[in-house]
Amino acid sequence: MEIKNRIARRVAQELHDGDIVNLGAGLPTLVAQYLPDNIDVLFHSENGILGLCDNSFGIQDPDLTNAAGQPCSIIQGGATFDSAFSFALIRGGHLDACILGGLEVDQHGNFANWMIPEKMKPGMGGAMDLVAGTKNVIVAMEHCTKAGKAKIVRQCQFPLTAEKCVSTIVTELAVFRFIDGQLTLVEHAADTDIETIKVCTEAEFVVADELRKIP
């Protein structure tokens, strides 16, 4: 859980004052806990909430859940609406960013997050609409699988959610951005180095001239 919180804390720093941001299921829901005090962000949930927040804040409602069916809260002045309206917001390009978990991202920006062949299929959900209709697609995921296999790969092997859609990848080891179509390492964790990241990353990438440590 500490790894997931570490990733969520760094993802929260990607957000800007006034953003409307969709939080995907799983790890992305933790991001609301780490939002800096000096910015105001509206969190969106695809099942029909604008003003989603961490359970520690807002109006508690036992009948209110996020897109993953987990209990959640809504800020004072937040709104609820049906799925048709929610997806109109997504498809209309009204979200500034979406934060999604991932199974694989490849060096071309292709993204897979909804199905592992021969395993139970939870369904696509809203991911395909989100990556197509959102300006900034942030993938928040652990750098490797539980078996130690790279999740940032040369080419996705799982069924794709979408092609060439990812803007930023945040893991516990590194932050990558797609700059002019090139996967670029821009930050690394203080307790790791470039060689370790190369060992854990199958994809080819370049290192930014001003490589920084993750704050």
Q: Tell me the chain's radius of gyration from C-alpha atoms.
A: 17
* Mean pLDDT for back-to-back runs of 10 residues, the chain (215 residues): 95 97 93 91 95 68 81 89 96 97 97 84 83 96 97 97 97 98 98 97 98 95
pLDDT in tens, 76-102: 899 999 999 999 999 999 999 999 999
> Reduced to 3 states, what is the DSSP secondary structure of residue 138?
strand
Contact 35, 93 (CB under 8 A): no
User: Any idea what DSSP says for residue 141?
Assistant: -
pTM of the model: 0.94
Active site residue ranges: 46
pLDDT for 56 equals 57
Tokens 């539980």 sit at which residue? 146
pLDDT for 122 equals 65
For the chain, percent helix, then strand, then coil, each to nearest 5?
A: 20, 35, 45
User: Any idea what DSSP says for residue 160?
Assistant: P
Phi and psi, residue 196, nearest 5°: -65, -40
Exposed/middle/buried for residue 136 (C-beta within 10 Å: 0-12, 13-18, 19+): middle
Give the list of residues 6+ apart from residue 10 with CB closer than 8 angstroms, or none.
170, 175, 214, 215
In this structure, the dihedral spanned by the alpha carbons of residues 128, 17, 29 and 132, taken in order and rounded to 10 degrees, is: 0
